[in-house]
Structure 1
Amino acid sequence: MSDTTKAWRSIPLFQYLTFDEFYAHLPHDCRLIGVEFPHEKAVSLPKFTHPERCVYLLGAEDYGLSKQALERCHRVVYAPSQRCLNVAVAGSLIMCDRMAKAAA
Structure 2
Amino acid sequence: MKIDQLEPGYFGIGIQHGKTPENLGVLWRSAQNLGASFVFTVGKRYAKQACDTHDIVKAMPYFHYDTFEDFYNHLPKGAMIIGVELDERAIDLQKFKHPRNCVYLLGAEDHGLTNEAIEKSHHLIKFNTPKSLNVAVAGSIIMYDRSIKGSHIYLKGTPK
TM-score, with length taken from structure 2: 0.61
Q: Which amino acid aligns with 2:90?
A: A
Q: Percent same amino acid at aligned positions?
A: 49
Contact 2:82 2:121 in 1 (8 A): yes
Indicate the residue corresponding to 2:127 in structure 1: 79
Matched position secondary structure for 1:15: strand
Is 1:7 matched up with 2:56? yes
Is 1:89 matched up with 2:120? no
Deviation at 1:6, TM superposition (A): 1.9
More strand by share: 2
How many equivalent residue pairs? 102
TM-score, with length taken from structure 1: 0.91
RMSD over aligned CA atoms reads 1.3
Is 1:40 matched up with 2:57? no
Q: Which amino acid aligns with 1:60?
A: A
More helix by share: 1
Measured in 2, the distance between the counterparts of 1:87 and 1:7 equals 18
Deviation at 1:68, TM superposition (A): 0.8
Contact 1:31 1:53 in 2 (8 A): yes
Structure 1: stretches of 5+ with no match in the other structure: none
Deviation at 1:83, TM superposition (A): 3.3
